[in-house]
Structure 1
Amino acid sequence: MKYYEEVFCEKTKLNDLAELTSEEWTFSREGATKNGILVNYLAHTYERLEYENKIFVDEKNGRAIFNTGLFDNFYEPLYAYLELNKRENTQKWYTVGFKSAYELARRGVDNTLLPERANYFEDPSLLIFDANCPINIQFGHILNDPNNIKRLPKK
């Protein structure tokens, strides 16, 4: 994936982003990589944004910004703030951090330049539940997995 080829992001930055979103981003299975879901999410989002040409690149100032599609506790959009990587033979971009529009403005980024989030649906009707479609419940998957059982209400 292009994200891994182009962007370097330290684990501490991923941890920071996970905390900002107040969500669990690690698979519940034994030995799962911490924030593995988040890394995959960022990689796919980056690829989609690149396809849609929605990554703000400022070559003059050596920075790039993309909308993660995630929100902080105040429902403010979070952006990945990248700078040119100074290490040789590595990814082009280094993740400085994940920032709100306010924090980016304090860094001199004009809020009118902030990129939009990724769009995965050209047809919004695809987002509406169609009650006429048959539902095939996988009872075995739900009831035979102890992790899934924990999610069910006690009553």
Structure 2
Amino acid sequence: MKFAYLPNFYGMLNYLESFTMDEKWSYDVVNPNRKNKNNPILENYIHHTFRRLVFERNNLESKIEKNKKIYIDKKEACFNTGLFTDNYKSIYAYFERNKRHNSDLDFVLKGFFDYSHPRLSKINPLPQRAQYFNDISDLIYNTNLDLRTNINHILDNENNRKRIPKSVRDLKNLTILFEGAIQLAKKKVQANYKVAVPQYYNGRIQLLLPICLVDPEIVDLALAVNKHDGYYTGHTCLTMDMAYNNARLIARPDSEWLKV
């Protein structure tokens, strides 16, 4: 919103949702104070994707290389949303120079278009998708490595603790319950590597593991796991909504447990 004027942004998001691949972009329970109740996940996705592209662009030297991330010239600008139509056409956000004299913003968002749209005809090459990882192995949980989880930190941290279901939050044996849930999650990953879902958070790749505290068949939380030199650590648990938001930046989660 510091880059461009966004007229009817929520209407444009609704239109964008209408021609992307079929996907759920809303929560089952939406915060009533939130302005966008139709597709808040899509809104978060667009903002975070742009933020990542700005970061990548700022770390490049030449204008040619910069324009491969966010294309900007005297008349227009665009970036790759990372989304696709049903026919696998890449979708771009397209901007034109802002002609409003009472605005400090250089551009105005004109809409979202697939790569074959005439508005994009003069932009060559079209910008690339945001990149979140360099090594694909970072997206796969290595079951041969040790997982060191600081359960006391998770349970003592106020933000973490309030994410735990109320029915078990104050149990005296919660630590033991949590340890058992982590062991179950590790077994699930051993059976199917897709259970560990990659997410992008705070500039790095993490892996999310499903934590079942109330019912072994129902996931209550996601444990965020960081990879180090020869082992993993876990210090934070996320709600399902938080986990999905972060995971969706990389790709649509392919694991059944992480659904909204």
Which category of TM-score, normalised to the shorter sequence, fits these structures?
0.7 to 0.9
The answer to whether 1:139 aligns with 2:153 is: no
Q: Of the candidates 136, 144, 158, which is equivalent to residue 124 of structure 1?
A: 136
- The CA distance in 2 between the partners of 1:16 and 1:90, in whole Å, is 27
**Structure 1: runs of 5+ lacking an equivalent:** none
Relative distance call for 1:90 and 1:11 in structure 2 (3 A) is farther
Q: CA deviation at 1:131?
A: 3.1
Aligned match of 1:16: 15
User: Which gives a bigger RCO, structure 1 or 2 (Cα 8 Å, sep 6+)?
Assistant: 1
Aligned match of 1:58: 73
- The CA distance in 2 between the partners of 1:121 and 1:143, in whole Å, is 27
Aligned match of 2:28: 28
Aligned match of 1:73: 86
Q: CA deviation at 1:129?
A: 3.4
Contact 1:101–1:111, Cα closer than 8 Å, also in 2: no
Letter aligned with residue 14 of structure 2: N
Tell me how many residue pairs correspond in the alignment: 141
Relative distance call for 1:108 and 1:25 in structure 2 (3 A) is closer
Contact 2:25–2:42, Cα closer than 8 Å, also in 1: yes
Q: CA deviation at 1:132?
A: 3.1
- For the residue of structure 2 that corresponds to 1:25, the secondary structure is coil
Contact 2:97–2:106, Cα closer than 8 Å, also in 1: yes
Q: CA deviation at 1:29?
A: 1.1
Larger of the two Rg values belongs to structure? 2
Q: CA deviation at 1:13?
A: 0.8
Letter aligned with residue 29 of structure 1: V
Divergent runs of 4+, >6 A: none
User: Which one has a larger percent strand, Structure 1 or Structure 2?
Assistant: 2
- The CA distance in 2 between the partners of 1:108 and 1:137, in whole Å, is 42
TM-score (norm 1): 0.76
Q: CA deviation at 1:114?
A: 0.3
Contact 1:48–1:118, Cα closer than 8 Å, also in 2: yes
1:92-138 deviation digits (Å, cap 9, x = unpaired): 322211111111xx236246320100000022210223233552642
Q: Of the candidates 3, 8, 15, which is equivalent to residue 6 of structure 1?
A: 3
Give % identity.
35
